[in-house]
Amino acid sequence: MSTPEAKISPIPAYVEAVLPVPLRRAFTYRVPEEMRGTIKLGARLMLPFGRRNLTGYAVGLHTELPTDVEIDELKIKDVIEVIDEEPLITPEILKLTQWTADYYASFWGEMLKASLPAGINSEKVRPKRRKAVRLISGFTDDLEKPLTDQQQWIVDLLTSNGGTMLFTEILEQADVGASPINTLAKRGTVEVYVQDVMRDPLAGADFPDRDEFTLTSEQHEALDQITTALEKDAEFKAFLLHGVTGSGKTEVYIRAIQNALDAGRSAMMLVPEIALTPVFSRRLRTVFGSDVAILHSSLSPGERFDEWRRIRRGDARVAIGTRSAVFAPLENIGLVIVDEEHDASYRQHESPFYNARDVAVMRAHLAGAVVVLGSATPAMESFYNAKTGKYTYLRLPDRIGGRGLATAELIDMREVFKRAGKDLALSPELLEAITETHAKGEQVIILLNRRGFSQFVLCRTCGETLKCKNCDITLTFHRGDNRLICHYCNYREKSPKICPHCQSEYLYFVGEGTENIADQLAKKFPAIRIARVDRDTMAHKGEMEDVLLKFAAGGLDMLVGTQMIAKGHDFPNVTLVGVISVDIGLGLPDLRSAERTFQLITQVAGRSGRGTQAGKVLIQTYYPEHYALRHAREQDYEGFYNQEIKFRERLGYPPFFVLASVMIKHRDHAYASKNANILRRSLDGANAERNARILGPAPASLSRLKNEYRLQIILKAVSRKALRTTLDIAVADAEEHGCDLRTVNVEIDPVNLM
């Protein structure tokens, strides 16, 4: 259908764009005459969408309306504005995000949005601009009107500062007002202009000296293999660097990055959310100077934006960061490192779902780069890939300097209970070890996987526990602010004095959290300087950094905290690590709970005895015979792997089967249930050839969260292709049968099944 008017107008230009909405398709827009030729692929565009305007991303350009678009030409809307003249998104990142969205059955537009620094589309994040003054070279003095003393002073000041200064700097130093500067500008002596200033997250920090040591022969061998692979241009290769804690993996990474730069390529290193220690960032700055950009969640949006822009401009060729840094716009990337590759923080837990570790491998693959996955406790999947030859296996079996691994002991809390005749949170064994360690002037870390004061509140009269009103979860008591808090939705209420169910006064606080343990320790050891490290105490930017730096400098004797302190840090004077109630992890109904517990204990043991003194780890548990604990005590990774992999095979879990978790969520239970049942029928229809096993719908382990009921369907298939085909056909079919897809959330390769 076309009108006479459309026939005589010149051929319109069209742009295909994806938007940050949960829709799989791209949309076509007309480019108004005046914007023709200004749009490049990857640019952000302001686009009308329904009744709203949204920021979309240009992913295709057409001189004519694409013939496969079944759309009435007259209904096509115009682009409102081209936001970026130079696209923010490079062709490589366009391709990578498209692959990622497809792999995770997710949405390209949402993935592109997630790939850019948070807040970039809002007015708040802007380049920081300051007024600056520049001496105009070769200016000629106006002899008729010689410079005043003040003016001469300013010219001299500028000259001695290399000719350029910030406006405010001159005002501060010269003790003059703005007028002599403005007069100088009028007579053409100086120029006042606006300068882009980069916000530096490490501004004002002290940097350590660079360590210059000779690599051990194992480090040398590992680096050699990585470098040889790097030198083969545009050839993908994946390594698993399995090195015990303190074996010098970081040093291998740093030298490999150096070699990549020397070969004229850029490099990226991903680190877990919490392991990006202040000490580590500083170490990288010492080595790479302004060639390194840092991207992580505790930067201010402005700092993050500036670090990101330095990468985009090619001013920083090394990008270090957490999860979303996998999309950093580095060009000509030669090396991708994923440190602590098993870490759960690489997984994005809300839409768009992705695992940065797996995206990193694909990024290297697409770019013909080398990828190094490093860990002391590789993920089951990664070790399996190394065993089957998909990854090249590199091993650093020993700690640097012949230091032994910390010895670990299990403390059987059932015995402690028998001896004491009551439940104790801190065993006499642990208390004694703390006393001894402190007497030697050495430091202690106490780990507990639970924030707050108590785990839950129980009424002794009616037996009810106090639960969140939005979730099927018990509330945690936080004594500091006398509140009960839901750790899932952050619902808070004042701690009640009487039971809301039966009005009884006998409320009983069960199970200790970090707050309680830190209190108990402070009472028992008044002379020991203790800091608590968890999300409650470290809520503000810089707090965590301050405490860790203080601890590293010996200004604190003990850290008590959640797993935030378990990983990555290097505190040579820590010789005792105590783990309180490790059993919480083992009790979770999840496919990875044994693996998680094993990893956590091995990691935390790695914090002990990193210096010249031998380290010790004490683990309190009610299940000392559990295989994850026994192997963790022996620090026997392969022993654990061999046992766990058999369970995985028997139960049909990764790496043998590919999983998808489909969550159907709604405030109305009946509505969720109706949609889940339609989807299940469609899945059965799509699975006529029985390529996948389908379980559910059943209430999820967390059956109600944030006011929504959650029903879960689990799919298991022998191949990724079978899984996706079944899923895609079923979802389309379910929609035709009236399933409301807004209630359906698909997660491919879920990290947990809760």
Residues that bind ligand ADP (CB under 6 A): 211, 213-216, 219, 243, 245-251, 400, 570
We find the least distance from the C-beta atom of residue 93 to ligand ADP, in angstroms, to be 29
User: Do 742 and 708 form a contact (C-beta atoms < 8 A)?
Assistant: no
For residue 72, which amino acid is it?
D
Dist CA 713 CA 691 (whole Å): 16
Contact between 485 and Zn ion (CB under 5 A)?
Answer: no
Which residues are 62's β-sheet partners? 14
We find the least distance from the C-beta atom of residue 95 to Zn ion, in angstroms, to be 39
We find the least distance from the C-beta atom of residue 342 to ligand ADP, in angstroms, to be 14
Rounded to a whole number, what is the distance in angstroms from the first to the last CA of the chain?
A: 52
Contact between 470 and Zn ion (CB under 5 A)?
Answer: yes
Contact between 491 and Zn ion (CB under 5 A)?
Answer: yes
**Other CB atoms within 10 Å distance of the CB of residue 111:** 27
We find the least distance from the C-beta atom of residue 227 to Zn ion, in angstroms, to be 50
35 vs 489, beta carbon nearer Zn ion:
489
Q: Site for Zn ion (CB under 5 A): which residue of 373, 408, 447, 471?
A: 471
Q: Site for Zn ion (CB under 5 A): which residue of 54, 111, 116, 499?
A: 499
**Which partner from the list Zn ion, ligand ADP, none does 501 bind, CB cut-off 5 to 8 Å by kind?**
Zn ion
Contact between 215 and Zn ion (CB under 5 A)?
Answer: no
We find the least distance from the C-beta atom of residue 311 to ligand ADP, in angstroms, to be 24
We find the least distance from the C-beta atom of residue 247 to ligand ADP, in angstroms, to be 4
Contact region with Zn ion (CB under 5 A), list: 150-158, 407-415, 462-470, 679-687 = 462-470
Q: Site for Zn ion (CB under 5 A): which residue of 45, 105, 486, 711?
A: 486
We find the least distance from the C-beta atom of residue 284 to ligand ADP, in angstroms, to be 12
Q: How many CA atoms lie within 13 Å of 85's alpha carbon, on the beta-carbon side?
A: 0
Q: Which H or E run contains 704?
A: strand 692-705
163 vs 500, beta carbon nearer Zn ion:
500
Dist CA 587 CA 608 (whole Å): 26
We find the least distance from the C-beta atom of residue 475 to Zn ion, in angstroms, to be 8
For helices 669-686 and 720-736, the axis angle rounded to 10 degrees is 120
What are the backbone dihedrals phi and psi of residue 276, each rounded to the nearest 5 degrees, phi first? Answer: -75, 80
314 vs 401, beta carbon nearer ligand ADP:
401
707 vs 725, beta carbon nearer Zn ion:
707
DSSP character for 371? E
We find the least distance from the C-beta atom of residue 633 to ligand ADP, in angstroms, to be 20
For residue 411, which amino acid is it?
I
DSSP of 451-504: -SSEEEEEETTT-PBPB-SSSSSBPEEETTTTEEE-TTT--EEEPPSS-TTT--
Contact region with Zn ion (CB under 5 A), list: 68-76, 387-395, 501-509, 675-683 = 501-509
Contact between 400 and Zn ion (CB under 5 A)?
Answer: no
We find the least distance from the C-beta atom of residue 173 to ligand ADP, in angstroms, to be 41
Contact between 488 and Zn ion (CB under 5 A)?
Answer: yes
CA distances from 672 to 28, 156, 705 (A): 34, 75, 13
Give the closest residue to 342 by CA, choosing from 543, 600, 531.
600
Using CB under 5 A as the criterion, what x/- string covers residues 502-521 for binding Zn ion? x-x-----------------
Contact between 477 and Zn ion (CB under 5 A)?
Answer: no
Contact between 468 and Zn ion (CB under 5 A)?
Answer: yes
Contact between 466 and Zn ion (CB under 5 A)?
Answer: no
We find the least distance from the C-beta atom of residue 570 to ligand ADP, in angstroms, to be 5
CB neighbour list of residue 289: distance below 8 Å, 6 or more residues apart: none
We find the least distance from the C-beta atom of residue 316 to ligand ADP, in angstroms, to be 22
Q: Which H or E run contains 220?
A: helix 217-231
DSSP of 615-638: -EEEEEES-TT-HHHHHHHHT-HH
639 vs 699, beta carbon nearer Zn ion:
699
Q: Site for Zn ion (CB under 5 A): which residue of 501, 693, 720, 742?
A: 501
Q: Which H or E run contains 751?
A: none
We find the least distance from the C-beta atom of residue 708 to Zn ion, in angstroms, to be 11
Q: Which H or E run contains 538?
A: none
We find the least distance from the C-beta atom of residue 386 to ligand ADP, in angstroms, to be 17
118 vs 588, beta carbon nearer Zn ion:
588
- Sheet with 190-197: strands ordered across: 164-166, 128-135, 190-197
**Which partner from the list Zn ion, ligand ADP, none does 248 bind, CB cut-off 5 to 8 Å by kind?**
ligand ADP
The secondary structure of 132-198, three-state, reads EEEECCCCCCCCCCCCCHHHHHHHHHHHHCCCEEEHHHHHHHHCCCCHHHHHHHHCCCEEEEEEEEC
Dist CA 694 CA 661 (whole Å): 10
DSSP character for 719? S
**Which partner from the list Zn ion, ligand ADP, none does 471 bind, CB cut-off 5 to 8 Å by kind?**
Zn ion
Helices in 333-427 by DSSP H: which ranges?
Answer: 356-367, 380-387, 413-420
Contact region with Zn ion (CB under 5 A), list: 18-26, 254-262, 460-468, 652-660 = 460-468
We find the least distance from the C-beta atom of residue 740 to Zn ion, in angstroms, to be 24
85 vs 212, beta carbon nearer ligand ADP:
212
Tokens 């809307």: give the residue.
Answer: 77
**Which partner from the list Zn ion, ligand ADP, none does 97 bind, CB cut-off 5 to 8 Å by kind?**
none
246 vs 302, beta carbon nearer ligand ADP:
246
CB neighbour list of residue 362: distance below 8 Å, 6 or more residues apart: 96, 99, 100, 103
**Which partner from the list Zn ion, ligand ADP, none does 570 bind, CB cut-off 5 to 8 Å by kind?**
ligand ADP
245 vs 298, beta carbon nearer ligand ADP:
245
How does strand 507-512 pair with strand 530-533? unpaired
**Which partner from the list Zn ion, ligand ADP, none does 332 bind, CB cut-off 5 to 8 Å by kind?**
none
Q: Site for Zn ion (CB under 5 A): which residue of 420, 462, 695, 698?
A: 462
Q: Please work out the total of residues on this chain that contact Zn ion, with binding judged by CB under 5 A.
A: 14
We find the least distance from the C-beta atom of residue 464 to Zn ion, in angstroms, to be 5
Task: Kindly state the tokens that stand for 274.
Answer: 């919490």
Contact between 702 and Zn ion (CB under 5 A)?
Answer: no
The secondary structure of 23-75, three-state, reads CCCCEEEEECHHHCCCCCCCCEEEEEECCEEEEEEEEEEECCCCCCCCCCHHH
**Which partner from the list Zn ion, ligand ADP, none does 468 bind, CB cut-off 5 to 8 Å by kind?**
Zn ion
**Which partner from the list Zn ion, ligand ADP, none does 249 bind, CB cut-off 5 to 8 Å by kind?**
ligand ADP
Contact between 459 and Zn ion (CB under 5 A)?
Answer: yes
459 vs 580, beta carbon nearer Zn ion:
459
Tokens 């592109």: give the residue.
Answer: 112
Contact region with Zn ion (CB under 5 A), list: 144-152, 177-185, 455-463, 675-683 = 455-463
User: Do 498 and 504 form a contact (C-beta atoms < 8 A)?
Assistant: yes
249 vs 616, beta carbon nearer ligand ADP:
249
**Which partner from the list Zn ion, ligand ADP, none does 489 bind, CB cut-off 5 to 8 Å by kind?**
Zn ion
Helices in 239-355 by DSSP H: which ranges?
Answer: 249-262, 278-288, 301-312
**Which partner from the list ligand ADP, Zn ion, none does 499 bind, CB cut-off 5 to 8 Å by kind?**
Zn ion
What residues make contact with Zn ion under the rule CB under 5 A? Answer: 459, 461-462, 468, 470-471, 486, 488-489, 491, 499, 501-502, 504
